[in-house]
Structure 1
Amino acid sequence: MSMLHKALAGLALAILPFGASAAEIKWDMANEYNDTSIHAEGDRLFSSKLAEMTGGAIEITHHFGGSIGFKSKDQLDAVGDGALPIANTYVGPLGGIDPMFLLPSLPFLAKTADEARRLLDVARADYEAIFAANNQKLLWASPWPPSGIWAKKPVDSDAAITNLKIRTYDANGTITLQQAGAAPIQLSWADVVPQLSTGGIEAVLTSAEGGTNAKFWEHLSHFTEVNYAMPLNMVHINLDTWNDLSAEHQAAVLEAAKAAEDYVWEKVEARVAQNYTDMKAAGMTVVTGVSDDYLAALNAAGNKAREEWLAKTGAKGEAILQAFNN
C-alpha cells in the first residue's frame, strides 16, 4: 500500500463513530424459543439498536430455537462460565438454583401485563443481585402472554383436566396441575413438539404465543384460556464481558436493552389478539369464558405452589408479595 493510501485509510478510520471499526466485538446470543416469538423480536431490536448506536462495533449473532445447543435451564451456568457471552432465558427452570426465578409464574398471581410488570419492578433488584452472584448482569426482562392450555379438547372443567398428560414449564405448573388432578410433566421447550409427535404428552401449558410460534395446530385442536400466569424471559450478559466494555459501549447496551424491554411489554397484549386470529385461521378452536367455578378450582390447586415458594423465600418473599399487593 502506498503512503498516500495508508494516510487515507487512517483518516477514514479516525472519522468513524466510536467503535465503528466493523464489529470489533462479536457476541453469540442464545434463545431457546422460536425466531418468530415476541422475545426473538426483542432480541433483534436490541442487536439492531446496539449496532446503530455503536457504529457497528458490537455485532450479535442470534441463535434461536436452541440452535446453539443450550436450553433455558442450561443458560445461567453457560453465561456465568463464559461459554456464552449473552442469552435470553426463560427463568422458570432456574427455580432450583434460586426460588426467586419462580416468582413470575406463581399461579394466578400476575394475570395481566400491568400486574406482571409491577411484580417485575418490585423484585428487579433481587433478580439483579442473583445474576451478579452468578457472574452476570441482568439487562432486561420481558413477559410471555398469559398461559393457557393447548389440547385436543376443551380443558374447561375438572373432568377434562383429570389425568391429562400435560407439559408444564416449571415446578409451579407441575405442582399446580398435579393438585388439579392432571398428570403433568416438566419439559424444556425444545422437547415439547417431539413429545407431542410421539404421544408422550397430549396437552401443553403455555401461551397462545408459544403454541402459535411452534404451530401446535399440527398436533392439537383447542386452546383454553385460563390466564394462569405471565412468566418472564430475562436477558443476561457475562459480567467479565460486560466489564470489558468501554463506558460508551456499556451505556449503549443499557439503552438498547431498555428499548427492547419496552417494546415487548408494549406489544404483549396486542399479541394475544393476533395469536387468536392466526390460531383460528389454522383451524384451532379458542375456548374463552370458562366458568368461575373451574377457575376457582385451578386457583385453589395453586395454593401448594404458592405456599412452597413462600417457605423457600421466607421474609423476602413475603415482603415482595406484600409490596405487589399494596
Structure 2
Amino acid sequence: MKHMLLAGAAALSLTTAQAVKAEDITLNLSNEYSATSIHGVGDARFASLVAEMTGGSVEVVVHYGGALGYKSADHFDAVGEGALEIADTYGGALGGIDPLFLISSLPFFVTTVEEAELLYSVAEPEFKRVFEENDQILLYASPWPPSGIWAQDAMDSTAALAGLKIRTYDKNGTTALNELGAAAVRLSWADVVPSISTGAIDAVLTSAEGGVSGSFWEHFDTFTEIYNYAIPLNFVHISKDTFDGLSAEQQEAVLAAAAETRDLNWAAIPDRLATTYAELAENNVTVVTSNDDVYRDALQTAGDAALKDWLDSTGERGQALIDAFNAAKAQ
C-alpha cells in the first residue's frame, strides 16, 4: 500500500510538473531593424519585462535585422495568419493596409515629440480597431527620432534636392520629395544599404538614429536636419489567437510590460538623440541645419501636398483625426 501511495504521489508530482511546463510559452518577435536601434532596444526591454512579470512562463525571443525572413511589409499578414506571434513594424509599411497608419509620417505636421505623442493618443483607437479587425492586438507604438536626409553633401536647398535619387520610407515621403523635384523611391529598410552600395540611390530619408544603426558614415559624410520632417512610429502587435492562448495572468503581464515599454520608449528620445549626435561626431559626420526661409517654405508646401493626398485617401476618417488632434493641441 505504501508503495502504491508513493507511486501515486510520484505520478501526481509528474503530472503537476507537466501541467506547469505546459503553461510555459515562447513567442517569437520579428524586427527588421538592428538590435542597437531604438526599437531594437525597446524590444529587448519588452522581452525582459515579460519574462519578469510572468515569472519566466512567457519568453519573448526577439529576432533582429529581419532574421526570420520578414520585412516590415510582411509582418501584418504574418501575424494575422498566425505564422508569427509578434512583430515590431514600421507604420509606413502598414499604409497599404489602411492609409490612416501614415498619419504619423505626414511631413512637418508635428515637429516635436510631445506633439507626436499627442497625435498618437488621438489616433490610437483607430489603429487598435484595424488590428482587431485582422485578428491582432496592438500592444503599443513608439517613435523614431525626427527624420532628416543622409547624403554625401548638404541637402539644405531645393536645388540640392533636384533630381536626387533618394530613399523614402513611405508614400508621404515619396509625394513630398517628388514635389520638390527629387527622384524619390520607397524602399524597405533591409534594401537601403544594398541600394546605396550599388548606386541605386544617392541619399536616404531617415533619422540620424537610423543612420547610426546602419553605419551610414561608411557611405555618406553629411546628415541634414530638415526642420524635424516627421516623427514616425513603429507598432508592436501580437496574434489574437496567440494572446487568447495565454492565461489571464499572462495576458495581464504582457499588457503591463507593453505599457511600461511604451512609456520608456517615448521618454528615451532625448537621451537617444544625445547619444546619436555624439556618435556622428566620433565618425566625422557633418550635421547641417538650414536656416533658409525659402527652403523651409518649399518643404512646407511639399508637406501640404502630402497631407492633401493623404486626406484624399482617408476621407472623413482622416479629417476627423486631424480635427481631433488640432482640438487637443489647442487645449
Q: Please say whether Structure 1 and Structure 2 have the same fold, judged by a TM-score greater than 0.5.
A: yes
Q: Are residues 1:205 and 2:205 paired?
A: yes
SS in structure 2 of the partner of residue 96 of structure 1 = coil
**Where do 1:97-246 residues align within 5 Å?**
97-226=97-226, 227-246=228-247
Paired with 1:95 and 1:135, the residues of 2 have a C-alpha distance of 18
Q: Over the residues paired in the alignment, what is the CA RMSD in angstroms?
A: 2.1
Task: Determine the structure 2 residue equivalent to 1:249.
Answer: 250
Task: Determine the structure 2 residue equivalent to 1:50.
Answer: 50
The one-letter amino acid of 2:13's match is G
Paired with 1:117 and 1:208, the residues of 2 have a C-alpha distance of 20
Task: Determine the structure 2 residue equivalent to 1:304.
Answer: 305
C-alpha displacement of 1:292 = 2.6
SS in structure 1 of the partner of residue 140 of structure 2 = strand
Paired with 2:293 and 2:225, the residues of 1 have a C-alpha distance of 12
Q: Are residues 1:322 and 2:319 paired?
A: no
The one-letter amino acid of 2:182's match is A
C-alpha contact 1:22 1:56 (8 A) present in aligned 2: no
Task: Determine the structure 1 residue equivalent to 2:294.
Answer: 293
Unaligned runs of 5+ in 2: none
TM-score (norm 1): 0.94
Paired with 1:9 and 1:159, the residues of 2 have a C-alpha distance of 78
The count of corresponding residues between Structure 1 and Structure 2 is: 321
C-alpha contact 2:168 2:204 (8 A) present in aligned 1: yes
1:240–1:179 CA distance, 2 compared to 1 (3 A): same
Deviations 1:133-163 (A, max 9, x none): 1110000000000000000000001111111
C-alpha contact 1:222 1:286 (8 A) present in aligned 2: yes
The one-letter amino acid of 1:108's match is F
The one-letter amino acid of 1:47's match is A
Tell me which structure has the larger Cα radius of gyration.
Answer: 2
SS in structure 2 of the partner of residue 65 of structure 1 = coil
Task: Determine the structure 2 residue equivalent to 1:69.
Answer: 69
C-alpha contact 2:148 2:208 (8 A) present in aligned 1: yes
SS in structure 2 of the partner of residue 224 of structure 1 = strand
The one-letter amino acid of 2:114's match is D
SS in structure 2 of the partner of residue 256 of structure 1 = helix
C-alpha displacement of 1:280 = 1.2
C-alpha displacement of 1:101 = 1.0
Task: Determine the structure 2 residue equivalent to 1:267.
Answer: 268
Task: Determine the structure 2 residue equivalent to 1:10.
Answer: 13
1:159–1:23 CA distance, 2 compared to 1 (3 A): farther
Paired with 2:20 and 2:43, the residues of 1 have a C-alpha distance of 21
C-alpha contact 1:53 1:252 (8 A) present in aligned 2: yes
Deviations 1:252-298 (A, max 9, x none): 01000011111110001221121111011101001124323212211
C-alpha displacement of 1:312 = 1.7
C-alpha displacement of 1:20 = 6.8
Paired with 1:9 and 1:39, the residues of 2 have a C-alpha distance of 45
**Where do 1:21-40 residues align within 5 Å?**
21=21, 24-40=24-40
Paired with 2:89 and 2:74, the residues of 1 have a C-alpha distance of 9
C-alpha contact 2:156 2:290 (8 A) present in aligned 1: no
C-alpha displacement of 1:211 = 0.5
The one-letter amino acid of 2:269's match is V
SS in structure 2 of the partner of residue 245 of structure 1 = coil
C-alpha displacement of 1:110 = 1.5
Paired with 2:60 and 2:32, the residues of 1 have a C-alpha distance of 16
SS in structure 2 of the partner of residue 229 of structure 1 = coil
Paired with 2:251 and 2:120, the residues of 1 have a C-alpha distance of 23
Paired with 2:105 and 2:323, the residues of 1 have a C-alpha distance of 17
SS in structure 2 of the partner of residue 223 of structure 1 = strand
Which range moves more in the overlay, 141-150 or 49-58? Answer: 49-58
Paired with 1:63 and 1:291, the residues of 2 have a C-alpha distance of 42
C-alpha contact 1:20 1:54 (8 A) present in aligned 2: no
Unaligned runs of 5+ in 1: none
